């Protein structure tokens, strides 16, 4: 084993679904920097193309609506034989349960859980046939801890964990690995609502052990790791990249004894 090449992805083909923004964009850039040829897929064609320009040699933009099951199936057939599939697209409606509508719930579930279900099935099928591949899905600290207002989002992020574990169990014998990343609070358009509220923003920074928010680039390393041979024996795992958020409950700091 040449450890200097442990994280290299030369000759691998990656597809990032949700590559137009935030963690998806930085993941595409990081995969490309490690030698992968990256398809940058997003609903927003212009931002997908922008990411492709940043994601290394051979990177291309691809327009896809992940809410369209047939489009995900088509993409899995059209996009060559990817070794790596990363799915970051998600949405949140932050509202109390008593104010939530069924339509809002369905919208959050359809993207966060439904698109993961489709991507894992359609891209996973080819990987299982070829006998290799790594799928990286996105959970969240909300897959294990909640606060008021996170109902549907948290349910989908816990659901992603169980989907990933089941896919790992079913695809493992074929040599295909399936894992999830669970970020803490990361400055992206998804969390712009929080950034715009100084008290909320500060409270979240103070909650983590590191005492701050992450930049999206700080999550990309976990994606490269899970995609690469460095994680050759890692499957069915949920990798926390949360600055210690889920390690501490934050209720009280006892005085020095
Ligand atoms: N930002 C955070 O603090 C945070 C924290 C924990 C978990 N996460 C998770 O990390 C992942 C990435 O989050 P982010 O903050 O980078 O999000 P983001 O909103 O910055 O990016 C999401 C991307 O998905 C695309 N997208 C949305 N709907 C789509 C659709 N129907 N079809 C195709 N593309 C679509 C958007 O155009 C956008 O480019 C998500 O799964 C999110 O739940 C984020």
For the domain that residue 201 is a member of, what is the CATH number? 3.40.50.720
The best mutation among 188, 205, 214 to test binding of ligand 1, ranked by most ligand atoms within 8 Å of the C-beta, falls on: 188
pLDDT band, very low/low/confident/very high, at 251 (cuts 50, 70, 90)? confident
Q: How many domains does the chain have?
A: 1
Ligand 1 near 224 CB (within 6 A): no
Token digits for 107?
A: 């919208």
User: Is the residue at 1 inside a domain?
Assistant: no
Residues 6+ apart with CB under 8 A from 67: 110, 111, 114, 115
Confidence check: pLDDT of 234 > 90: yes
Give domain status of residue 62, yes or no: yes
Indicate whether 208 pLDDT > 90: yes
d(CA 123, CA 153): 24
Domain range for 187 is: 8-238
Give the tens place of pLDDT for each residue, 10-54.
999 999 999 999 999 999 999 999 999 999 999 999 999 999 999
Q: Is 208 in the pocket of ligand 1 (CB under 6 A)?
A: no
179 domain residue, yes or no:
yes
The token duo for 66 is 């992940």
Q: For residue 87, how far is its CA from the centre of ligand 1 (angstroms)?
A: 9
Relative to the CA of 189, which ligand 1 atom is closest?
20
Residues 19 and 25 sit within 8 Å (Cβ to Cβ)? yes
The answer to whether residue 93 sits within a structural domain is yes
Which of 92, 186, 190, 245 gets mutated to test ligand 1 (max ligand atoms within 8 A of its CB)?
190
140 Cβ inside 6 Å of ligand 1: yes
Q: How confident is the model at residue 249 (pLDDT cuts 50, 70, 90)?
A: confident
To the nearest whole percent, how much of the chain has pLDDT over 70?
Answer: 100
User: What would the pLDDT profile of 142-158 be if each residue is shown by its tens digit?
Assistant: 999 999 999 999 999 99
| Domain contains 50 | yes
Per-residue pLDDT at 37: 98
pLDDT at 257 over 80: no
Would you state the structure tokens that stand for residue 90, as one six-digit string? Answer: 């998600």
Residue 52 lies in a domain: yes
- Both tokens of 181, joined, read 């990343």
Task: Give the single-character DSSP code of 235.
Answer: -
Q: Within a domain: residue 144?
A: yes
- Residue 244 domain flag: no
Phi then psi for residue 41, to 5 deg, are: -105, 135
Known active-site residue 225: no
C-beta 23 within 6 A of ligand 1: yes
Q: What is the mean pLDDT of residues 169-189?
A: 98
């Amino acid at each position: 084993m040449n450890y200097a090449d442990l994280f290299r992805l030369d000759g691998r083909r990656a597809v990032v679904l949700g590559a137009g923004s935030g963690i998806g964009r930085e993941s595409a850039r990081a995969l490309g920097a490690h030698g992968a040829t990256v398809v940058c897929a997003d609903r927003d064609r212009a931002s997908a193309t922008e990411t492709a320009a940043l994601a290394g040699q051979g990177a291309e933009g691809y327009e896809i609506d992940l809410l369209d099951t047939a489009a995900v199936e088509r993409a899995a057939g059209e996009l060559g034989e990817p070794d790596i599939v990363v799915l970051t697209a998600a949405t949140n409606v932050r509202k109390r349960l008593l104010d939530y509508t069924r339509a809002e719930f369905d919208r959050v579930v359809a993207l966060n859980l439904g698109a993961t279900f489709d991507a894992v099935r359609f891209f996973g099928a080819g990987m299982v046939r070829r006998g290799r591949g790594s799928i990286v899905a996105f959970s969240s600290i909300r897959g294990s801890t909640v606060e008021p207002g996170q109902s549907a989002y948290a349910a989908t992020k816990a659901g992603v964990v169980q989907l990933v574990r089941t896919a790992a169990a079913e695809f493992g014998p074929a040599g295909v690995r399936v894992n999830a990343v669970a970020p803490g609070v990361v400055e992206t358009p998804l969390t712009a609502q929080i950034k715009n509220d100084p008290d909320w923003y500060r409270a979240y920074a103070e909650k983590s052990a590191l005492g701050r928010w992450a930049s999206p680039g700080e999550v990309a390393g976990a994606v490269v790791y899970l995609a690469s041979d460095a994680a050759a024996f890692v499957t069915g795992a949920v990798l926390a990249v949360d600055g210690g958020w889920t390690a501490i409950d934050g209720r009280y700091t006892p005085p020095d004894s």
